[in-house]
Amino acid sequence: MISRFNKAFMFIILGLFLIASLAMLHPPSRAYIDPWTGELFGEGGVEKDLRLPGLKGDNKPESAHGGVIMSKLGNATAKAELGRATWKLLHTMTLRYPEKPTQDQRDALDSYFHLFSRLYPCGECAAEFQLLLKKYPPQTSSRRSAATWLCFVHNQVNARLHKLEFDCANLDATYDCGCGDEPIGSSTLTKSSSDIDLDREGEFNNGRDDVTGVGVIKGGR
């Protein structure tokens, strides 16, 4: 007669054998769940078919698209000073934007303008800018397209405020940051904004931005 102890020992050995057999049939996976983000990680890092939290289908942060966050700015003097400083920042940024940006750089600029439209300290101004973004989506395929698009948008704002049209041919002179970059005015913005034809640039396909598919702005009104 086999004792109870021997029977238990045999069952344990048999169980371990079965577990080892299953392990050999199905090699252990190195995937695990990150306890902080909930993302599934594998041997190569985050699985490529999974999207990071906060990203839409176009790989742009969800936070970049939404309503205006700031309240109305009642101080007219502060509003005017803020506007001048902001245009200087935006124009200088697009004038230093890469000539041949990568897709990541294009996405970054597009997200920047949409986040800007939510966080601009003047709430009513931000709401107007969001309407402009919907009507005229940012053009990011090159430095020239970005700079010309922004100048066009600037003139849309000027027209609404009954101000003089900004001369897009003098962007470099007006917003010279002293950075030593090669100016784009001499080669690309020598015409008035109303005469610029972006369709002639090889970076566009049939006069449309190759990412957004939006018709290219030809400057001016």
Q: Which amino acid is at 50?
A: L
From CA 180, how far away is CA 164, in angstroms rounded? 29
What was the pLDDT predicted at 19? 74
Asked if 120 and 70 count as a contact pair (C-beta separation under 8 A), the reply is yes
Burial (CB count within 10 angstroms: exposed 0-12, middle 13-18, buried 19+), residue 203: middle
pLDDT at 104: 96
User: Phi first, then psi: what are they for 209, rounded to 5°?
Assistant: -65, 130
Q: What is the phi/psi pair of residue 121, to 5°?
A: -60, -20
Interval 151-192: pLDDT, tens: 999 999 999 999 999 889 888 888 877 775 665 554 444 344
Please tell me the distance from the alpha carbon of residue 79 to that of residue 166, in angstroms, as a whole number: 19
Helix (H, G, I), strand (E, B) or coil at 144: helix
Q: Which parts of the chain register pLDDT below 50?
A: 28-36, 40-53, 55, 57, 186-206, 211-212, 216-221
Please tell me the class of the 62-200 domain.
mainly alpha
Contact at 8 Å (CB) between 218 and 198?
yes
Residues 6+ apart with CB under 8 A from 136: 149, 152, 153, 156, 214, 217
**Nearest residue to 150 via CA among 163, 162, 136, 164:** 136
| 8-state DSSP, 175 | T
Q: Work out whether strand 32-33 and strand 45-46 pair parallel, antiparallel, or are unpaired.
A: unpaired
Instruction: Please state the domain extents for the chain.
Output: 27-55, 62-200
